[in-house]
Chain A
Amino acid sequence: MSANGAPPLLELNAVDTYYGQIHILQALSIRIAAGELVCLLGGNASGKSTTLKTILGIVQPRNGTVSIEGEDVTKRPTSYRIARGLAIVPENRRLFAPMTVLENLEMGAYLRGGGSKEDFDRVYELFPRVYERRTQLAGTLSGGEQQMVAMGRALMSRPRLLLMDEPSMGLAPILVERNFEIIKQVHESGVAILVVEQNANVSLSIADRGYVLSTGRLVLEGKAAELRENDDLRKAYLGH
């Protein structure tokens, strides 16, 4: 994938994930190079969340490997993978509601000892609003602010690959657009991003490449621009 022959930042190689007897991910292979913005599209029950769980090590694949920069981490725990440069903005944000914004950010950098001043400054620079709200309880923020804190919390661990689980979920359309602008901004600061989305339109507009999942199988992959022109995808997701 990479032009210079370096191993990709994240690679899923022929992964099969089961929940008990149910075969969820079927021979799924995904590659993300450093600095890329990739989106993973799929409808309900297509295996998007399971893919993320497999990447993070919350579920173990039965076959196949997950590797970060060429290192096989399939058997490694979640904390190891986070330490190797992964971070996630979970679906519905999942902030720690009764804790302050500051404490939430600190928890994001748990493995790095709670984060240095530069880490906090970086987040505040991206999201001045978060700085204003830093002493407030996370649960009292508005939806858009919570999304910023969730992203800030993930960035606190200085990830090289940021996983975004359904960033448009539960947000008003205007906030979704702003959200994706923020994603773009974070991406431009040098972080590779994997956006997992149902909303193909917005995701493809900012992504470099895209994968399309359907019932646990990869049905399409390619450059974002090409995918947007793809008739099947247009019928299925873009609605025109």
Chain B
Amino acid sequence: MSEWLPPESESPEEAVPTTGPAVGRDEWVAREGERRVSRAGWAGTVEERLRRVPWWAWLMLFVAAGSLMPVFESSGYVRLVGFNTVVYMMLALGLNLVVGWGGLLDLGYIAFFGVGSYVYAIFDSAKFGYHVPSILIIPAATIVGALVGLLVGLPSRRLSGDYLAIVTLFFLELFETVATNGNQIFGHDITGGSFGISTVFPLSFAGHTLAVQHNGIFAVSYYYLAIVMFVIVYVSLFFVNNSRTGRAWRSLREDPLAAEVMGMPVNWLKLTSFATGAGVAALAGTISTALNASVYPLNFSPVVLITLYAMVILGGSGSQPGVVVGAFLVSVLLQVLQDPGQARVLFYLVIVVGVIAAYRVSVRLAIVAASTAVFGIATHAIAASFHHSWVDGAHGGLAGVLANWVVVPERLTPWVGQVAYLLLLVGMLCATQLRGRLRLVTLPPTLYLAAFVWENQMIPNPGPARYIVLGLLLIVLMIVRPNGLLGERRVEIN
């Protein structure tokens, strides 16, 4: 009977039955669309307009922006970060295919990246004396990656959740072991062992070699080539996702039993999803290895895998643009956060965006902003009235401006910082768990504490700080958008 009871709803009028017998939870869910469209004001209009922009226009815009980057940025370092970001995007697209569409928890994904890298390195390096043309070795490495994926998938027969996770994790370990000890397989050196292969040739097409460096800095041609590969991967995966096979993958992820009784070849579909993802990873491996001119077993450690999963989850598993944005954000963030000044800007940006996302443009947002500002000014004034050295710790730039609001002493007694840190954690717990007015009350002090801890504790220690900011970003995001930045809201039946 409970199925026919009205759902728990914040606004009672939504739960009131209006027509016929088909009332209850289903009807309430059915109005989800109406409610979304009816969001009033310019925000709703903009949202509706943006929804109508076709996917390829977004992609073109994104690629155009990316392609312009080297025009404005001549630093080789920034360009290299750009290249790595594009490689991460490709990897995220492949992982999204396996995890987001296929619903397969693949913990060995990064090993296929390694397979592609090693295939390229072995057949295109001075170490072994092979020099296979890039036009052949890139597709070959991709196919080998997909085939290895097929082989790994085959023994775990029904390829379901936990079993697949364990098998693939084991495969990652196996891959690392083989790569590390590959210099003595039956007396032959195949992978160069733990020293890897460091004499890899750059890409070459029709006898023309794409130099890795140009006048001593990173050659931008690799960046553009990576973008071209990314676009190819993106577009082909887009069409795969919108094919019958793509929809079959998703239905399989939603309900394997229902998919099976529709007559779908369940195991085969899972295998193809798994192997295609592996192929994409291997493809990303080739260009990455060609640029780095080397490959080491340590390139394929679980840390890279975790970073990739963070990208996919943050962006919204299952959404192609989502995981691309996720990859972009995480990859750029990890670089940006190495500089305390940039990390500071980002830190406050995350907080501001988080608060805005939580409250939207509303009276409550104004209340939070105003009371946080007032709270800070008051605290600052009280601290300054004790002794001017209590507020004299920061000068110049954003830090100097902020020091008119945040208390930054010249020297902070260590325990104060630690207590503030603990208080911040308590405040964060309260702010996320409480609702309504209580949250409004706890939020301003918490935000202020966050700024205090950041300026006094984090800025002097940028190393751990960057992972904390990244973690914070993930937490905020998971609260505000549980399905990732661009992930679809899940619709549940029953």
* Residues on A facing B (Cβ under 8 Å): 56, 58, 78-79, 81-83, 88, 90, 92-99, 103-104, 106-108, 110-111, 113-114, 136-146, 153, 157, 170, 172, 174-175
Contacts and interface: CB of A to CB of B under 8 A. Distances in A.
A110 B493 contact: no
Nearest to A113: B244
B33 interface: yes
Contacts of B29: 139-140
B264 A110 contact: yes
Interface residues of B, number: 33
Nearest to B33: A140
Given A58-B260, A107-B264, A98 B30 contact: no
B26 A146 contact: yes
15 contacts: A78-B260, A81-B263, A82-B262, A83-B263, A88-B261, A96-B258, A99-B251, A103-B251, A107-B248, A110-B264, A141-B26, A144-B21, A157-B263, A175-B21, A175-B22
Interface in B1-40: 3-4, 21-22, 24, 26-27, 29-30, 32-33
B262 A157 contact: yes
B493 A78 contact: no
Contacts of A143: 22, 24, 26
A32 B24 CA distance: 38
A96 B251 contact: yes
Interface stretch (B133-141, B285-293, B484-492): B484-492
Given A93-B493, A170-B3, 11 more contacts: A78-B261, A82-B261, A82-B263, A90-B258, A107-B248, A110-B263, A140-B30, A140-B33, A141-B30, A142-B30, A175-B21
Contact of A111 (B24, B263, B488): B263
Contacts, number: 108
A156 B254 CA distance: 20
A95 B26 CA distance: 13
Contact of B21 (A88, A114, A172): A172
Interface in B232-265: 244, 247-248, 250-251, 254-255, 257-265
Point out which of A142, A153, A174 has the most chain B C-beta atoms below 10 A from its C-beta: A142
A106 B245 CA distance: 11
A106 B261 contact: no
B263 A97 contact: no
A56 B22 contact: no
A183 B384 CA distance: 81
A94 B263 contact: no
B362 interface: no
**Is chain B's interface secondary structure helix, strand, loop, or mixed overall?**
helix
A136 B488 CA distance: 14
Contacts of A96: 250-251, 254-255, 258-259
Point out which of B33, B244, B261, B488 has the most chain A C-beta atoms below 10 A from its C-beta: B261
Nearest to B261: A88
Given A78-B260, A79-B264, A107-B262, A140 B32 contact: yes
Nearest to A92: B494
B250 A98 contact: yes
A96 B30 CA distance: 15
Interface in B467-494: 488, 490-494
Point out which of A108, A110, A114 has the most chain B C-beta atoms below 10 A from its C-beta: A110
Contacts of A175: 21-22
Contact of A138 (B4, B262, B493): B493
Point out which of B4, B259, B490, B494 has the most chain A C-beta atoms below 10 A from its C-beta: B494
Contacts of A114: 244
B261 A99 contact: no
A142 B244 CA distance: 26
Contacts of B265: 79
A-B residue pairs, 6 tightest by C-beta: A82-B263, A139-B491, A142-B22, A94-B258, A142-B26, A111-B263
Given A98-B491, A142-B27, A90 B261 contact: yes
A102 B456 CA distance: 57
B494 A170 contact: yes
A128 B250 CA distance: 26
B247 A107 contact: yes
A74 B411 CA distance: 81
A172 B258 CA distance: 23
Interface in B436-494: 488, 490-494
A83 to B, nearest CB: 6
Interface in B39-95: none
Nearest to B3: A170
Contacts of B258: 90, 94-96
Nearest to B269: A110
A106 B264 CA distance: 12
Contacts of A98: 250, 254, 488, 490-491
Contacts of A140: 29-30, 32-33, 491
Point out which of A56, A95, A96, A153 has the most chain B C-beta atoms below 10 A from its C-beta: A96
Nearest to B490: A98
A97 B22 contact: no
Contacts of A139: 29, 491-493
B493 A95 contact: yes
Nearest to B19: A142
A144 B20 CA distance: 11
Contacts of A90: 257-258, 261
B245 to A, nearest CB: 10
A94 to B, nearest CB: 4
Contact of A110 (B22, B32, B244, B491): B244
A138 B244 CA distance: 17
